[in-house]
Amino acid sequence: MQPVRWGILATGGIAARFTEDLKLLPDAEVTAVGSRSQLSAEAFAEAHGIPRAHGSWAALAEDPDVDVVYVATPHSAHFAAAALCLRAGKPVLCEKPLTLDLPSAAELVGIAREQNVFFMEAMWTRVNPVIRRVRELVAAGAIGEVTHVCADFGLAGPFPPGHRMRAPELGGGALLDLGVYPVTLAHIVLGTPQSVTAWASLTPEGTDQNTGLVLGYASGAVATLHCGFVGATAQRATITGTDGRIELPPLFFRPDGYTLIRGEDNETVEMPARGHGLVYEAEEVMRCLREGLTESPYVPHDDTLAVMAILDEARSQIGVEYPPTAKEVS
């Protein structure tokens, strides 16, 4: 089996962790890294044993020895980076959230479909083995009809002025960075809600720092979700049904196991993650590429866009707006 040759676009912390996880896969090979800075690309390449360093995104996108590109920029630059690679005919795995809003996310999906090239949001929660097993249990009726999903993702903070989480021009705020996880879990279990209600307190700069959402579903189910950076929360999740519940320990978005509770019966299953937990999305991308797929059945485009629509509606209600410059175009 020929190895899948990866290009890494950007050189930050998440790029480093993803590159380290790729080394766990014998059928993966990192052949190049690209950055807007040649020095940054060379330093990253040297640190991770990557043979080729490009001083521009375009050079990486045009590299004939790269089969797929992992976009690891801050999310304010996702659109520009992913669009460049997709238009060059390169398959793309793009960090979450896909973009800053639904219209730009839909535009990226449109480019991928037009180019007939593989494209996937790097939402590791959807391909995590524990979450996949939980999804199977719910579908099989292990806890009856789901009535409630509860999930929280709060960091201690505080973040100083100038931090990206407080910067509207960088797409800052808890909702896109942290809230995408509880919203995604609710969507995995319950699908698209009938109603979205959101409330938040904002930073002086106008990004959300403590945000709550209530999602209502036609079935009568409810999801109560939280994200923020004003206090460290438990980062747990519970899926409750008419016949029991499933509890996900910290960190619920990349769990190492779950507990199934039905009456007096408790069953805890441990499934330790490999590496940083990013390895599963890399495996899924490579499986899809080898099967000639243009999207993953675990992370389909429509689900990515549905979650972005929820985030857009919540952001509209809490009054967080991003300037036009937040979505880089080149």
What pairing do the DSSP bridges indicate for beta strands 119-122 and 146-154?
A: unpaired
Give catalytic residue positions.
Answer: 96
Residue closest to 224 by CA, chosen among 286, 287, 179: 179
Quickly count: other Cβ atoms within 10 Å of residue 153's Cβ. 27
What's the CA gap between 260 and 137, in Å, rounded?
9
Cα–Cα distance between 185 and 260 in angstroms, integer?
17
Backbone angles phi, psi at 37, to 5 degrees: -120, 125
d(CA 276, CA 15): 12
User: Measuring CA to CA, how many Å separate 280 from each of 140, 170, 237, 259?
Assistant: 23, 28, 21, 21
Of the candidates 58, 63, 62, the residue with the CA atom closest to the CA atom of residue 50: 63
